[in-house]
């Protein structure tokens, strides 16, 4: 990011200025109709905006001229400078008291269109700069890059600057529809700061596709903890941060909370039994009791206690296994900072666009060939996003991160996730529990009951570890997985998942109103697929600044 500070600042100012100019001119036709011209205040504002726009464009083109990788950006700035002459000619008509009203109105309409084009192309300058960062700014020859590592059967890639000996590490976790190779750009940007960076594929994703392993958030959380252990032992890093996108952010939060495949499988069943026993006890106590009822009450209370202790034992066992080293106070799988990029607020929002497909997959009568056809059509539409997107095609940039490893022959897939058992996969996604349910359980068992903690180990773990982890949530105001929810609702869920009392201290939340689920500039709300996640200067700066501050 060094060397781009002034250029980025000028482009940001230009975007704001062209937007202001476009908005200002939308009110000009009414003035011309009423006064056959512009009032003094509007004339002064327009003159200043024109002067500033020319100044910024000259500065941008001169800055870009010094860097061969910014040739396209320089050409774009020169094109916009040339358009100013046409805009000035129309403006002279509008300001000339000798010109008729109809001619002025025609020039005003032409200016509105030209200023709209300026605004769009100033945004394109910003996107071009961001893409240069990811595609040409960093020289891969300056890095140690190992693309095909296996860690506990987990497909990983490793990145490190050759001239650095990292003492801190970062794990990058892709979302449900992505794979680790799509995060090369972000990995290199973080590694350039002196970190050891590991990207990983989640279960049934990318290079981690295996018929013996099904997709599971619980297993994904275990894998994150295992990769953290691998980085500590093999690369000798002291502290580890995790950057996760979407379901990958879920995995990071769950890994920090001691979630596991066994916990996921059993804990909510114990919780259901506890709730049923509690409800049955309440109903029984609400009526006149007989001897039989009293015996029944003892049985209900015992069942409730068994379920209660089952939940607590599961949590303790998982926390010990994933975070403690044979009872010591060291955490081999410890996570020291978390960046959660666009995690859906609930599983219902995460799968809402796939409900019809999941219903088809769940039906035993629907053959696998139909499922493969349907999922392949979804994948093609998803993959066509960047390669056919006119905005990106016009840029002529090397922005293709590839489709990732090919799926085994005959296996259906939902985007980047392999599906071996379509019914089990559909049922899992449709019944998957919300992250905040688990973190509410952790909070419950960490709190005091009649002066004593419900679990000493869970209380210690939550207060001394989980709550102290610095966490940054970044999400887009146009994220399709949060449609219909207010900022307060989304951020309320994030606060629960962070196990924080409020949005303060170790919890930071950043919202970008104009960004979508991919947190990349220049995307339409429904057009996120296969874009490099976080391909925005602002988001990348947020991530790196947070990691630099907390690791």
β-pairing, 154-161 vs 143-151, is antiparallel
Picking from 118, 125, 123, 115, the residue whose alpha carbon sits closest to that of residue 74 is 125
CA dist 24 and 22 (Å) reads 5
CA dist 445 and 439 (Å) reads 10
Residue with tokens 């004593």: 452
Burial class (CB in 10 A: 0-12, 13-18, 19+), 475: buried
CA dist 527 and 513 (Å) reads 16
Q: Per-residue pLDDT for the chain (551 aa), expressed as one digit of tens each?
A: 345 778 888 988 998 898 888 888 888 888 878 777 778 888 888 888 888 999 999 999 998 888 877 887 888 899 899 888 888 888 888 788 788 888 888 888 888 888 888 888 887 787 677 656 655 566 777 889 887 788 777 889 999 999 999 999 999 998 876 778 778 778 888 999 999 999 998 887 777 666 567 777 888 888 998 899 889 888 999 899 999 998 889 889 988 888 888 887 787 777 778 777 777 777 777 766 666 667 777 887 888 888 788 878 888 887 777 666 544 444 567 899 999 998 888 766 666 666 666 666 666 676 666 666 666 665 554 444 433 333 333 333 333 344 455 556 656 565 566 665 556 656 556 666 666 677 877 787 777 766 666 778 888 888 888 888 999 999 988 887 887 888 888 888 888 888 755 555 688 999 988 787 777 764 443 333 334 555 566 788 889 999 999 99
Global pTM value: 0.69
CA dist 435 and 141 (Å) reads 40
Picking from 86, 192, 212, 183, the residue whose alpha carbon sits closest to that of residue 137 is 192
Picking from 539, 522, 517, 470, the residue whose alpha carbon sits closest to that of residue 245 is 517
CA dist 547 and 194 (Å) reads 11
Q: Which domains does the chain have, with CATH numbers?
A: 5-135 (1.20.120), 146-263+331-550 (3.40.50.1820)
Long-range contacts from 296-299, C-beta under 8 angstroms, 24+ separation = none
Which residue intervals of 136-182 are DSSP H helices? none
């Amino acid at each position: 990011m060094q060397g781009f500070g002034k250029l980025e600042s000028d482009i940001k100012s230009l975007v704001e200025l062209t937007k202001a100019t476009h908005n200002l001119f939308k009110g000009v036709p009414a003035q011309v109709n009423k006064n056959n011209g512009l009032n003094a205040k509007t004339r002064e504002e327009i003159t200043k905006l024109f002067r500033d726009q020319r100044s910024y464009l000259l500065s941008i083109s001169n800055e870009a001229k010094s860097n061969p990788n910014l040739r396209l950006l320089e050409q774009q700035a020169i094109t916009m400078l040339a358009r100013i002459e046409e805009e000035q000619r129309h403006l002279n008509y509008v300001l000339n008291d000798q010109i008729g009203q109809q001619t002025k109105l025609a020039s005003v309409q032409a200016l509105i269109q030209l200023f709209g084009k300026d605004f769009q192309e100033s945004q394109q300058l910003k996107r071009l700069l961001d893409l240069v960062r990811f595609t040409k700014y960093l020289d891969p020859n300056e890095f140690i890059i190992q693309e095909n590592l296996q860690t506990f059967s987990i497909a990983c890639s490793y990145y490190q600057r050759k001239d650095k000996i990292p003492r801190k590490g970062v794990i990058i976790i892709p979302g449900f529809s992505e794979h680790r190779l799509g995060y090369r750009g972000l990995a290199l940007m973080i590694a350039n700061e002196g970190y050891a960076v590991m990207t990983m594929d989640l279960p049934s994703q990318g290079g981690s596709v295996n018929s013996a392993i099904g997709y599971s958030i619980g297993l994904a959380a275990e894998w994150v903890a295992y990769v953290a252990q691998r980085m500590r032992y093999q690369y000798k890093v002291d502290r580890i941060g995790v950057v996760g996108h979407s379901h990958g952010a879920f995995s990071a939060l769950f890994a920090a909370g001691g979630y596991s495949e066994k916990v996921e499988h059993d804990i909510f069943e114990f919780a259901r039994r506890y709730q049923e026993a509690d409800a049955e006890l309440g109903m029984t106590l609400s009526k006149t009791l007989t001897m039989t009822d009293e015996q029944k009450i003892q049985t209900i209370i015992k069942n409730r206690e068994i379920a209660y202790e089952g939940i607590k034992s599961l949590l303790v066992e998982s926390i010990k296994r994933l975070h403690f080293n044979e009872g010591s106070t060291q955490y081999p799988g410890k996570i020291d900072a978390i960046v959660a990029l666009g995690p859906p607020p609930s599983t219902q929002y995460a799968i809402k666009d796939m409900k019809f497909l999941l219903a088809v997959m769940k039906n035993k009568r629907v053959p696998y060939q139909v499922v493969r056809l349907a999922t392949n059509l979804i994948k093609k539409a998803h993959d066509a996003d960047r390669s056919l997107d006119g905005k990106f095609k016009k840029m002529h940039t090397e922005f293709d991160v590839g489709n990732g490893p090919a799926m085994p022959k005959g296996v259906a897939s939902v985007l980047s996730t392999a599906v071996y058992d379509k019914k089990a996969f559909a049922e899992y996604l449709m019944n998957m529990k919300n992250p905040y349910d688990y973190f509410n359980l952790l909070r419950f068992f960490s709190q005091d009951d009649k002066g004593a903690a419900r679990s000493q180990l869970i209380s210690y773990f939550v207060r001394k570890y989980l709550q102290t982890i610095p966490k940054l949530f970044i999400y887009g105001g146009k994220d399709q997985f949060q449609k219909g929810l207010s900022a307060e609702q989304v951020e309320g869920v994030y606060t629960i998942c962070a196990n924080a009392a409020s949005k303060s201290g170790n919890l930071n939340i950043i919202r970008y109103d104009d960004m979508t689920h991919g947190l990349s500039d220049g995307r339409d709300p429904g057009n996120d697929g296969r874009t490099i996640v976080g391909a925005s200067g602002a988001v990348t700066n947020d991530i790196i600044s947070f990691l630099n501050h907390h690791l």
